[in-house]
Amino acid sequence: MADFREIFNEAAAAVQVEVKDKPAAISAAVDILSRGGKVLDAEKLRDEITRREALASTGIGHGVAVPHVLCEAVSSLVFAALTLKQGVDFKAEDGQKVDLIFLIAGPRGETAAHLKLLSKLARLLHDQDFRDSLRAASDAGALASRIYERE
């Protein structure tokens, strides 16, 4: 799997994003990921993520969600990271509202790399100190730096 700097850049990070609900959070995450330059069709990606989320929540607990999809709307494996100003309900098993989102998208056929990234992020996001440091990031650069530090 590529390192974080190859699949994530500061343009795909945002802090204190204001949204009112889960659909708005997903939409904002897609828009933020689109700024990173590898999204070919933002509307298709938004539809695919929404369809995937309807199958099962990607809220993994501790205020974190990792919506993810394989589709033709992206040119390579990428992710966005964002913190929300206020948590929204993602129907996570622990019932906590989500205020930290990692949106992952990759082209069909990159299943192995997609799963490795999901696994790597899940391990990192299990660490309370890491989650707290992400939530404390003052801007997109600080958020990206904290993610790169955990490479």
Cα separation, 104 vs 80, in Å, equals 7
Instruction: Give the pTM.
Output: 0.93
- Which pLDDT score is estimated for 111? 86
- Looking at 62, 68, 114, 126, which residue is catalytic? 68
Q: What is the CATH number of domain 4-149?
A: 3.40.930.10
Q: Does the annotation count 68 as an active-site position? A: yes
> Which residue from 102, 87, 88, 108 is spatially nearest to 147, judged by alpha carbons?
102
> What are the 10-residue block averages of pLDDT along the chain, 151 residues in total?
82 97 96 90 96 92 95 93 97 94 93 88 93 97 95 77
Give the number of other Cβ atoms within 10 Å of residue 14's Cβ: 23
- Which pLDDT score is estimated for 17? 98
- Which pLDDT score is estimated for 126? 93
DSSP letter at 76? Answer: S
- Which pLDDT score is estimated for 38? 87
Cα separation, 65 vs 111, in Å, equals 19
- Please provide the DSSP assignment of 82-144 as one string: EEEEEEE----TT-PPEEEEEEEEE-TT-HHHHHHHHHHHHHHHT-HHHHHHHHT--SHHHHH
Query: Residue type at 6?
Result: E
